[in-house]
Amino acid sequence: MRDLWPQVKALLPLVEHPVRYIDHEFGTVHRSADDDPNDTSYCMIYPDTYELGQANQAVRILVNAVNAHPHMFAERAYLPAADFIDLMRAHDLPLFSMESCAPVADFDIVGITLPHELAATNVLETLDLAGIPLHSHDRTEDDPFVVAGGPCTYNPEPYAQFFDAICIGEGEEQTVEIVDAVRAGRAAHKSRKEILEDLADISGMYVPSFYELSDNETAKKTGYAVHPINPHAKQVIEKRIWEGFADSSAWEPCVVPYAELVHDRLNIEILRGCARGCRFCQAGMTYRPVRERSADNIVKSALEGLKKTGYDEVSLTSLSSTDHSQIREILTRLNKALEGTGTRVSIPSQRLDAFGVGMAELVAGKKRGGLTFAIEAGTQRLRDVINKNVTEENIFSAVDQAFHAGWHHCKLYFMVGLPTETDDDLRGIADITQRVYEAAKKAIDPRQKNRLKVGISLAVFVPKSQTPFQWDGQISPEEAQRRINIVRDAITNRGIDVSWHDPRSSFVEAIMSRGGRECGPLIEQAWKNGARFDAWREFFDEDAWRHAGDEVGIDVDSIAQRNFDFDEVLPWQHITSGVHTSFLRLERKRAEQEKVTPDCTFAGCTGCGLCTDRGIDFETQEVRHG
């Protein structure tokens, strides 16, 4: 592969933060002169800037997984910042990998993670900058195979025309199998189509070109919006579950960057999955079953990682870290081992109960910065609708204990636009926030009252596939802003800081979350209209998307806002996370009835269907074989 470093080096003095593009960070894996030049190459790309992408654990995990096997190697790439993109185009410099500064288009396989819906136009920016044809059907035998993975693949249809193959589920084993299939296929001189057929045979793999859209009659008859047109294509793609998670080491060798990252710390994944059952939460449905790494594994891995990287903070990551059955032991042991070193242990968020605050005390040591609590809804009625098993007693008990224990700052997260929400629920957000402020004021050390800070963040509800609310439409951006204003105007306490997400960008998220293949041309036209870095407030351009809808003849408001009927065939019906659609329907009905469903890891099986279908022992969360 070509070395583009001389061209890159010449341009770096002209861009902001050139350190983003410099190789040889500590921990980087490079190929040696003894490696076989015919080894199969894989480039893992995060479609946003280095500061965001290098912190992403999926990039690290999958690059390590490939590099652990013979006859294949992996490198990283990120989408450059806008200033460097424009400069690269002006100088005909293609997108390059970090390790060898090789053109991304020279790799055998290009993997792009889809971390969130607002990354859609960045995918096209990435492919175009790399010089790879945007559409899978335009790629030749010499082009790399372009593969997607990540959370957004649970509705892959908006991205179907841009990817050769899409990974559904966990990729630790799947990615290696993809690289191996391409390696074997090219060694056997197979055609591109034949290699794609080999990829389609891999569990959890979706090859969009092997499917066609079903007409209404066929969709009603089969129950699927697309149907296979190749014998290797399965009608239903089941997500891949990595069975070896619990027994694997929590220490993943990682790159220590030159640049400061968004999350610049050592991350140790302690737990995978969450069964709390929040009805809006896609991750809670799609990452099941719950699997834990042992306390011994976690403590050993954290200490090893800190020693090898030099970080002064370790974060114990998962969807709900305080739900780990040994979390108190883990934190106690880590605190003891790190005492006097100045190293901080953190967890992503706290449970809204005494246990959660107790865990916060264990991780904070003498530092008492800020706590974050996700309350989500302002009234108990609406918290029951969304199955957020949090009561006011939990909330105020947690606040009282936290501020008595020495905390000064507290941030509360809420959503607006949730199904069945009323203006009274919105005013409830203001009411409970102001009462939290007063409770904190009473509990805090009087000498620290001038340091008291309470803030709230308002997000607009985005209906996600594979959840009980997948049938619900999103409110319009105008209505979302009206509801935000109700909350903002109802908060009269000047000591409370109010922030909110832009309803216009949340609108685009809903389009990507709920749309079908018709959204492919929409993404492409929006990108041609200048849309890129849509998750960045300074770059987001609503007009680029709305004009694109008009230009390709799509009613974008209808995609985002209309409700689906229960018997309607959804665009993602052929993709399954393992949670039965019948369970999701039942949960949606329970939401309407304001009934809660308990966490199955505490209260017993709730009947989602995943464990029974996959041969998982519910009591141990281990996969049964034979």
Q: Tens of pLDDT along 180-235? A: 999 999 999 999 999 999 999 999 999 999 999 999 999 999 999 999 999 999 99
Contact 465, 282 (CB under 8 A): yes
Q: Name the region of 169 (left: φ>0; alpha: ψ -120 to 50; beta: rest).
A: left
What type of residue sits at position 379? T
DSSP string, 323-350: GSTTHHHHHHHHHHHHTTTT-EEE-S--
Give 238's Cβ-side CA count (13 Å radius): 11
The whole-number pLDDT of residue 407 equals: 86
pLDDT at res. 366: 60
Contact 204, 238 (CB under 8 A): yes
- Which helix (H) or strand (E) segment holds residue 206: the answer is strand 205-206
Confidence category of residue 21, pLDDT binned at 50, 70, 90: very high
d(CA 462, CA 415): 9
Where does 34-144 show beta strands of DSSP type E?
A: 40-46, 72-78, 109-113
118-141 pLDDT tens trace:
999 999 999 999 999 999 999 999
Do the Cβ atoms of 61 and 149 come closer than 8 Å? no
Closest C-alpha among 141, 181, 172 to residue 40: 181
Res 626 pLDDT > 50 = no
- Strand-strand pairing, 622-623 and 409-416: unpaired
Q: What is the mean pLDDT of residues 489-502?
A: 95
Query: Is the pLDDT reported for residue 315 higher than 70?
Result: yes
Interior CA angle at 569 toward 472 and 564, to 5°? 20
HSE-CB for 625 with a 13 A CA cutoff: 1
Q: Is 588 helix (H, G, I), strand (E, B) or coil?
A: helix
Q: 480 pLDDT exceeds 90? A: yes
The secondary element (H helix, E strand) that includes residue 414 is strand 409-416
- Using alpha carbons, select from 338, 174, 348 the residue that is nearest to residue 269: 348
CA distance 14 to 404: 52
Percent of the chain with pLDDT over 70: 96
Average pLDDT, the chain: 94
Q: Give me the pLDDT at residue 621, please.
A: 52
Tokens standing for 548? 């694109």
* pLDDT score for 620: 56
Candidate from 231-240, 354-363, 421-430 with smallest mean pLDDT: 354-363
253 three-state secondary structure: coil
β-strand partners of 346: 315
The model's confidence at residue 579, banded by pLDDT at 50, 70 and 90, is very high
Q: What is the pLDDT of residue 582?
A: 97
Q: Which of 226-240, 328-342, 528-542 has the lowest mean pLDDT?
A: 328-342
Tokens of 272: 């995978």
> Could you give the CA distance from residue 211 to residue 234 in angstroms, rounded to a whole number?
9
Tally Cβ neighbours within 10 Å of residue 156.
23
pLDDT per residue as tens digits for the range 83-115: 999 999 999 999 999 999 999 999 999 999 999
Please count the residues of the chain: 626
pLDDT in tens, 442-471: 999 888 888 899 999 999 999 999 999 999
Q: What is the pLDDT of residue 624?
A: 38
pLDDT at 618: 54
Q: How confident is the model at residue 37 (pLDDT cuts 50, 70, 90)?
A: confident
Q: Which residue has the higher pLDDT, 358 or 29?
A: 29
pLDDT digits (tens, 9 = 90+) for 348-371: 766 676 556 677 777 766 666 678
Residue 105 near residue 131 (C-beta atoms within 8 A) = yes
Instruction: Tell me the CA end-to-end span of the chain in Å, nearest whole number.
Output: 46
d(CA 261, CA 20): 10
| pLDDT at residue 349 in the model | 67
The structure tokens 């809204």 sit at 352
Output the six-digit token pair for 195.
Answer: 């290699």
Q: Which domains does the chain have, with CATH numbers?
A: 5-238 (3.40.50.2300), 366-501 (3.30.750.200), 585-623 (no CATH)
- Strand order of the β-sheet with 266-269 is 266-269, 313-317, 344-346
Sorted by sequence, the CB contacts under 8 Å of residue 125 that are 6+ apart come out as 47, 79, 85, 527, 532
Q: What is the pLDDT of residue 625?
A: 35
What is the 8-class DSSP label of residue 357?
H
Residue 623: predicted pLDDT? 43
Instruction: Round to whole Å and give the CA distance between 611 and 97.
Output: 40
How many CA atoms are closer than 13 Å to the CA of 29, on its beta-carbon side? 16
